[in-house]
């Protein structure tokens, strides 16, 4: 397992970049504007992690700015922790066998979401290329929210 990023929703992207980059000294690694979803993702890394972030895409913080104003309450501004895994199906089966609900099954062989006992959303991402799609995962519905 490899730590990838932590996602935090921000209400003012410019103000957040000033804080994280200008004041804390993090470096912007990449930015993605998603018009269809109406959001912007900005990935930042600590100066000592910059080379690894550019090469391995980790470890980083992901700032998510939703273009439509939204008030974040109850921790809604915190999104999820993300980990790259060697075999997403094997890990999801292990978690499920031990009583963990798979909130977003790895239907695509690439991504799944579960929650910690405290309700923290955890994103599991298959390292490298997605695995071939297979059952029972391909047919599983989402459960709850993530």
Active site residues: 123
| C-alpha to C-alpha distances, 13 to 22, 41, 47, 61, 124, nearest whole angstrom | 13, 10, 20, 14, 26
**Angle in degrees, CA 13, 128, 52, rounded to 5:** 55
Nearest residue to 143 via CA among 118, 124, 115, 123: 115
């Amino acid at each position: 397992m490899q730590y990838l990023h932590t996602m935090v929703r921000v209400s003012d992207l410019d103000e957040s970049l000033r804080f994280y980059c200008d004041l804390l000294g993090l470096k912007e690694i990449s930015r993605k504007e998603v018009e269809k979803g109406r959001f912007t993702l900005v990935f930042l890394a600590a100066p000592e992690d910059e080379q690894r972030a550019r090469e391995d895409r980790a470890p980083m913080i992901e700032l998510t700015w939703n273009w439509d104003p939204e008030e974040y309450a109850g921790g809604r501004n915190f999104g999820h922790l993300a980990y790259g895994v060697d075999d997403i199906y094997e890990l999801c089966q292990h978690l499920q066998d031990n009583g963990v609900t798979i909130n977003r099954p790895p239907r695509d062989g690439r991504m799944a979401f579960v929650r910690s006992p405290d309700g923290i959303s955890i994103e599991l991402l298959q390292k490298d290329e997605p695995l071939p799609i297979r059952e029972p995962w391909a047919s599983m519905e989402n459960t709850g929210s993530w």
